[in-house]
Amino acid sequence: MASKVQFGSKIGLIAATVGSAVGLGNVWRFPAETQANGGAAFLLLYIGCVFLLGIPVMLAEFSLGRGKRSDASGVFKLLAPGKKWWIVGGVAIIASYLILSFYMVVAGWTLEYMWQSITGDLFAPVASNHGQSAIDVMDYQFHAKMQEYIVQDIKPLVMTYIMLAINLGILLMGVQKGIEKMSNILMPVLFVLLLVFAGVAMTFPKADEGLMFFLSPDFSKITPAVAVNALGQAFFSLSLGMGILITYSSYFPKETKLVRTAVTVSLLDLLVALMMGFIIFPAVKSFGLDGHGLEGATLVFVTLPEVFVQMPASQLWSILFFLLLLVAALTSTISLAEVSIAFMQDRFGMKRTSACLAVILPLFVLSSLCSLSQGSMSSLTIGGMTLFDFLDNFATNILLPLVAIFTCIYLGWFAPKGYFFNELTNNGSVAVRLYRPVLFVVRYLAPVLIAVILCTKLFS
Ligand code: PFF
């Protein structure tokens, strides 16, 4: 059974878990949210949310997975037989699968942009432009490029399929030889690339202005809406509420110190987000792109190429950046897929190969629909949104908070007495001084605050 498999080393375990957490959420969502929510004030709240809520909720998920060694739904079945709590895990599995279907499409775009950076096509002029200043011309050029690319049918599909095939290849190799080995190689690559980019960004002419925006807080910018966004970003970035951490921690050995692991993973995830801030804000201030699209896809596929064009050796920086993004996306898609694979193995007793195929093959259809919903199927909408946007909104804004709330309620109130304490302390052999505050957060603070996010998203 999959649940008996373990990560082979402490480093591998951390690399894999950090790989799952570090993804598009850090590289493009974090800078975009920071920009939209007023800079340093948001950063401060974000750091607060990671420590106050993120780490306790991560510990709740770790204790479920490591304690019961099963998939996201199986842990609830084992802990509460005959009860309906397994539905919480079931929803997590569905959420992670839906997220995977569109995340894979974005991973495909990244691959295309890396390829176009290698061939130089990314910087070839588009047919016509209507801009006046040099920056407007360039802005038009990259917007047009992205639009042109995303709305076509075939190319994005091919790139998505290549990403699916790469995922399948790694997943088929198993937890130790596939996921762990890949993370051991790719995570150091990611950190080195980030360091190089951060170093280069510090030499930009207006780096200090960018850093001021990112690091010197204007407290008047702290509002309830900004706090809600900071909490949402912390949950997204730490991969909470999707069954990922339950699944990965089911591969943790019994001796793993859960608190130390949760703190390490959260700090490294935060470090990546901070480094992205050190890169993006100096870049946009220095190249006159402040106020240009920093939201989601625009930041990565339009604004950053505009920065690269203005740097010497543009092609090299572009290739390296899209490689970084690809690494971040790949380690996250692998973890999203593993949630369903572990479920197939544990629930239906499937062999790893069959489970991988059963999870990845249907994605060729589902991800195709997501990809086409940006192109020739864009008129087919659900609640006014394309399939891509609908799945993103539904899974991340609704399913993810619901799972997180019920996971906390189960562990805080209904789990067998002493279960959480025994897991955190490895049956009393590790001292955990902050157990009471952590339990307080899991019981009261986290469910209430996540419910606030959920209501805000539902009614805004
Ligand atoms: N934590 C990863 C990221 O920040 O990209 C993975 C992930 C989180 C994927 C949340 C999708 C998601 F909705």
Question: Which tens digits make up the pLDDT trace of 28-84?
Answer: 889 988 988 889 999 999 999 999 999 999 999 999 999 999 999 999 999 999 999
DSSP string, 382-427: ETTEEHHHHHHHIIIIIIHHHHHHHHHHIIIIISPTTHHHHHHTTT
Check residue 2 and give its pLDDT: 43
The verdict on the CB of residue 23 being under 6 Å from ligand 1 is yes
Check residue 93 and give its pLDDT: 98
Question: Which residues of the chain, if any, have pLDDT below 70?
Answer: 1-3, 126-137, 291-296
Check residue 130 and give its pLDDT: 56
Q: Which atom of ligand 1 is nearest to the CA of 25?
A: 4
Tokens of 34: 């920071």
DSSP string, 195-210: HHHHHHHHTSTTHHHH
Q: Give the C-alpha separation, 43 to 270, whole Å.
A: 10
Least Cα distance to 264 among 29, 55, 53, 45 occurs for: 55
Check residue 459 and give its pLDDT: 81
Check residue 127 and give its pLDDT: 56
Backbone angles phi, psi at 405, to 5 degrees: -60, -50
Tokens of 334: 């692998």
Q: What is the DSSP letter of 125?
A: P
Cα torsion 113, 114, 116, 120: sign: positive
Question: Which tens digits make up the pLDDT trace of 111-120?
Answer: 999 999 999 9
Check residue 282 and give its pLDDT: 93
Instruction: Tell how far the Cα of 193 is from the centroid of ligand 1, in angstroms.
Output: 20
State the DSSP H helix or E strand holding residue 373, giving kind and residue range, or none if neither. Answer: none
Q: Which atom of ligand 1 is nearest to the CA of 329?
A: 5
State the DSSP H helix or E strand holding residue 339, giving kind and residue range, or none if neither. Answer: helix 314-348
- Contact between 104 and 330 (Cβ < 8 Å): no
pTM of the predicted structure, to 2 decimals: 0.93
Q: What is the DSSP letter of 445?
A: I
Q: Which atom of ligand 1 is nearest to the CA of 395?
A: 13
Residue 371 contacts by C-beta under 8 Å, 6 or more apart in sequence? 105, 108, 153, 156, 157, 160, 388
